[in-house]
Amino acid sequence: MTITLAYLGPQGTFTEAALLRMPISQGATLIPAQSVNAALELVRAGQAAGALVPIENSVEGSVATTLDELSHGEILEIVDEIAIPVEFGLLVRPGTTFADIERIATHPHAHAQCLEWLRANLPGVHVLPAMSTAAAAAELVEGANYDAAICSTAAATHYGLEILADGIGDNDVAWTRFVLVRKPGQSQPSTGHDKTTLSLFMHQDHPGALLEILTEFAVRGVNLTRIESRPTKKQLGDYFFSIDCEGHIDDERVGEALMGLHRICADVKFLGSYPRTDVGNSPIKAEVTDKAFQEADVWLAAMRERQN
**Shorter beta-carbon distance to a second copy: residue 154 or 284:** 284
**Shorter beta-carbon distance to a second copy: residue 36 or 101:** 36
**Shorter beta-carbon distance to a second copy: residue 152 or 187:** 187
The CB-of-183 to a second copy minimum distance in angstroms stands at: 10
Q: Which residues contact 182 (CB under 8 A, 6 or more apart)?
A: 43, 49, 50, 51, 76, 77, 79
The CB-of-131 to a second copy minimum distance in angstroms stands at: 4
The CB-of-26 to a second copy minimum distance in angstroms stands at: 24
What is d(CA 141, CA 301) in angstroms, rounded to the nearest whole number? 70
The CB-of-99 to a second copy minimum distance in angstroms stands at: 24
User: In this structure, are residues 12 and 106 in contact, taking their beta carbons and an 8 Å threshold?
Assistant: no
**Shorter beta-carbon distance to a second copy: residue 28 or 249:** 249
Q: Is the dihedral of CA 126, 129, 135, 141 positive or negative?
A: negative
**Shorter beta-carbon distance to a second copy: residue 93 or 269:** 269
**Shorter beta-carbon distance to a second copy: residue 157 or 231:** 231
The CB-of-2 to a second copy minimum distance in angstroms stands at: 24
The CB-of-97 to a second copy minimum distance in angstroms stands at: 26
The CB-of-96 to a second copy minimum distance in angstroms stands at: 23
For residues 69, 21, 6 and 246, what is the CA-based torsion angle, rounded to 10 degrees?
-30
**Shorter beta-carbon distance to a second copy: residue 163 or 298:** 298
User: In this structure, are residues 204 and 235 in contact, taking their beta carbons and an 8 Å threshold?
Assistant: no
